[in-house]
């Protein structure tokens, strides 16, 4: 729960999708927001008419100088940052074998290392005010690796594990951490925010190849509503005990709960082997 009636949100990746809808709803509530995108012109309209409460800034999270500048301008203008939403990032699809080194590294620079950098820059502000909420937009792919999305899933799994450690470190300081894991939503993720390396190996036609083809085919017909997702994200910041995980969408909920139940069953089936790897009692 934020400690002020007009909290300050810093949202990355506001030009489209979740980031844009979230920024719009935050400002519609009369709250304050730093809205960012690699091209600030794409978010200028969000700040129009709310210049006293909104700051539209350029931010490529892979550029350390821009990360530092955004946090400095946010604190100079508003004096605090209550909610950081790490939304910037994009998808990369390829079979694991056919993944291209430069594209894999670019994926991690944006989805992982850039997210780490902006969070590190904001944490001193939140520690000083003894409150804050870090919201990391990961994906159902942060909990499940689907064929064709191995490297995207790896980037989101990395953020999930890092968020566990972050929550343990900053929880005692009054800072909350939530990972939001959307399933398929009707954004332009597949149109603007997806890079693919087409699979040309016949052995992957029915796995990675089929899933990559279906991603584009289903774009624009997904069940998930970005506005309702943004409203859910706002609500989680208003509770005194926000969840560590928030899966969004029926597909995501069903897929994640089924996978986790199956994983637990599998781990428990090997309990004797797991326990048997320790030294004998008293050794």
Is the pLDDT reported for residue 36 higher than 70? Answer: yes
> Which of the four pLDDT bands, split at 50, 70 and 90, describes residue 147?
very high
Whole-number average pLDDT of the chain: 93
Which contiguous run of DSSP H or E holds residue 178? Answer: strand 175-182
Task: Give the mean pLDDT of 25-41.
Answer: 96
Let me know if residue 56 belongs to a domain: yes
Let me know if residue 276 belongs to a domain: no
Is the pLDDT reported for residue 165 higher than 60? Answer: yes
Residues found in the chain: 283
| Structural domain that includes position 74 | 8-269
- Split into its structural domains, the chain has a count of 1
7-11, 108-112, 167-171, 217-221: which has the minimum mean pLDDT? Answer: 217-221
Tokens matching residue 157: 């799994």
CATH of the domain at 25: 3.40.50.720
Percent above pLDDT 70 for the chain: 95
Tokens matching residue 63: 């550029």
Tokens matching residue 280: 């004998």
Let me know if residue 148 belongs to a domain: yes
| ∠ CA 76-31-13, rounded to 5° | 75
| Cα–Cα dist 23/227, whole Å | 11
Tokens matching residue 88: 């910037």
> Which of the four pLDDT bands, split at 50, 70 and 90, describes residue 281?
confident
Let me know if residue 106 belongs to a domain: yes
Let me know if residue 207 belongs to a domain: yes
Let me know if residue 275 belongs to a domain: no
Catalytically active residues are 152
> Which of the four pLDDT bands, split at 50, 70 and 90, describes residue 3?
low
Task: Give the mean pLDDT of 137-159.
Answer: 96
Question: What pLDDT, on a 0 to 100 scale, did the predictor assign at position 1?
Answer: 55
Question: What pLDDT, on a 0 to 100 scale, did the predictor assign at position 224?
Answer: 78
Is the pLDDT reported for residue 205 higher than 70? Answer: yes
Let me know if residue 240 belongs to a domain: yes
Could you report the per-residue pLDDT of 244-256, keeping only the tens digit for each? 999 999 999 999 9
Tokens matching residue 192: 């603007």
Q: How far is CA 249 from CA 90, 144, 162, 261, in A?
A: 19, 15, 24, 18
Could you report the per-residue pLDDT of 79-137, keeping only the tens digit for each? 999 999 999 999 999 999 999 999 999 999 999 999 999 999 999 999 999 999 999 99
Question: What pLDDT, on a 0 to 100 scale, did the predictor assign at position 222?
Answer: 74
Let me know if residue 34 belongs to a domain: yes
Tokens matching residue 27: 């400002």
> Which of the four pLDDT bands, split at 50, 70 and 90, describes residue 220?
low
| Cα–Cα dist 184/178, whole Å | 19
């Amino acid at each position: 729960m934020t400690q002020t009636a007009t909290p300050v949100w810093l949202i990355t990746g506001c030009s489209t999708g979740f980031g844009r809808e979230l920024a719009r709803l935050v400002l519609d509530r009369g709250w304050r927001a730093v809205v960012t995108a690699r091209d600030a012109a794409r978010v200028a309209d969000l700040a129009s008419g709310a210049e006293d409460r909104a700051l539209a800034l350029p931010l490529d999270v892979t550029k350390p100088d821009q990360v530092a500048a955004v946090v400095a301008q946010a604190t100079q203008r508003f004096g605090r940052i209550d909610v950081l939403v790490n939304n910037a990032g994009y998808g990369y699809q390829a079979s694991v074998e056919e993944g291209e080194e430069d594209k894999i590294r670019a994926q991690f620079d944006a989805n992982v290392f850039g997210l780490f950098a902006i969070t590190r820059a904001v944490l001193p502000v939140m520690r000083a005010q003894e409150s804050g909420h870090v919201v990391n937009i990961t994906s159902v792919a942060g909990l499940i690796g689907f064929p064709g999305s191995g490297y995207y899933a790896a980037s989101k799994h990395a953020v999930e594990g890092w968020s566990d450690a972050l929550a343990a470190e900053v929880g005692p300081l009054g800072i909350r951490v939530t990972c939001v894991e959307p399933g398929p939503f009707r954004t332009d993720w597949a149109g603007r925010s997806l890079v693919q390396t087409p699979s040309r190996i016949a052995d992957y036609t029915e796995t990675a190849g089929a899933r990559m083809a279906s991603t584009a085919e289903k774009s624009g017909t997904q069940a998930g509503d970005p506005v309702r997702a943004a409203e859910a994200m706002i609500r989680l910041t208003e509770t005194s005990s926000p969840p560590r995980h928030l899966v969004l969408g029926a597909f995501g909920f069903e897929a994640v709960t089924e996978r986790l139940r199956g994983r637990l069953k599998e781990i428990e089936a090997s309990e004797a082997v797991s326990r048997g790897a320790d030294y004998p009692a008293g050794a």
